[in-house]
Structure 1
């Protein structure tokens, strides 16, 4: 088994999701893995050198409307995600199908907070510091052009009442951690 300096509880994968167009046949065709890590050293190697650590380097500039186009696929990046290994960042993945996402948006007027919020969410994810972290399978940020949507994806544990309670506790922790007020919970199965 490979040694990892300062191993994390789980292995994580960095994903990018591209602007969906007619060229892509399915959700899986419009996303790709860009890195993986299982230890802190590997994480910081990615976070310090990949542009995915700073969404402003990949998303459309709201002031100039300049898009970053990925040459190999001739598309812009629509979302960035960090997900547990072997769990894909789309709702049809068997691990996500009956789960939920806890989400909130910030407007382009708060673009100066974009990286700070993203960092805090990712650090809380890989550090397993949010309540019921074992039920959280990933985080994602989506460029909605007029706002930025942050999502925390949770798996369903089979008990509806307990699941709702867990989601509410995670939501409260995110509210306290990030100072955002309007946080929503959406069931994946109802979308």
Structure 2
């Protein structure tokens, strides 16, 4: 992988001519279909640590999303917009992905990196997330890359000490500021959310006056739905950042 952006390329970016009619090409398409099925099957195989690698407690998946600001986004189109980069099961596999990925501080526009446990999609509606919430921290420009790295290393290293509560983390790059968040399963468990907050403050070395907001995913869905339905703003269902910036949170 020579280009850092290779990790973000869409697997189905190539175009194929659908109008070929001679039998040789049809046979070729048939062979390709069978080959694609075989490759797809192999992609679904469980990711495991390699020989002599250091296994993580959970497998994790990197995701990437980018959208045009101000364009309304339904839950379905949001799900189609998030692209899976890859899944890893060991420390070594993590670094192989991470070393080829663009740092958040180098991203432009409305872009997001998501790192979630394997099997959990970075969506409010996912079964693992729907009863949970997230801690949100807004950052001035220039801090996202360092804070993101510290956050995900703490998450992979099980520094939060809250059992299976952690679902994943997100860094959201915006024009005037960046936002990082860590998601957990049970918003009603105040002891757990408090421990996550305190650990987050420690691993990021946050100043005492840093504003940290906890937001349930149910509130996020309800607020954004009300804004889309009643308001004149072309907002997305899955853009907490816009909701926060307009003081609707």
Q: TM-score range by the shorter chain?
A: 0.7 to 0.9
Match of 1:172 in 2: 198
Match of 1:102 in 2: 135
Match of 1:129 in 2: 159
Secondary structure of the residue that 2:99 maps to in structure 1?
A: helix
Which structure exhibits the higher relative contact order, with contacts defined as CA atoms closer than 8 Å and separated by 6 or more residues?
1
Secondary structure of the residue that 2:211 maps to in structure 1?
A: coil
Match of 1:28 in 2: 79
Q: CA-atom RMSD, angstroms?
A: 2.0
Deviation at 1:23, TM superposition (A): 8.6
Match of 2:113 in 1: 80
Secondary structure of the residue that 1:26 maps to in structure 2?
A: helix
Question: Which of 90, 106, 114 lines up with 2:123 in the alignment?
Answer: 90
Match of 2:175 in 1: 145
Instruction: Identify, as 1 or 2, the structure richer in strand.
Output: 1
Deviation at 1:19, TM superposition (A): 0.8
Larger radius of gyration: 2
Does the CA-based 8 Å contact 2:108-2:174 persist in structure 1?
A: no
Deviation at 1:42, TM superposition (A): 0.5
Secondary structure of the residue that 1:142 maps to in structure 2?
A: strand
Give TM-score scaled by structure 1 length.
0.80
What are the superposed Cα offsets for residues 92-148 of structure 1, whole Å, 9 maximum, x if unpaired? 11111110101101122xx1x221111100101111111315211100001132111
Give TM-score scaled by structure 2 length.
0.62
Equivalent residues, number = 166
Alignment gaps of 5+ in structure 1: 61-76
User: What CA distance in whole angstroms lies between the structure 1 residues aligned with 2:73 and 2:200?
Assistant: 36
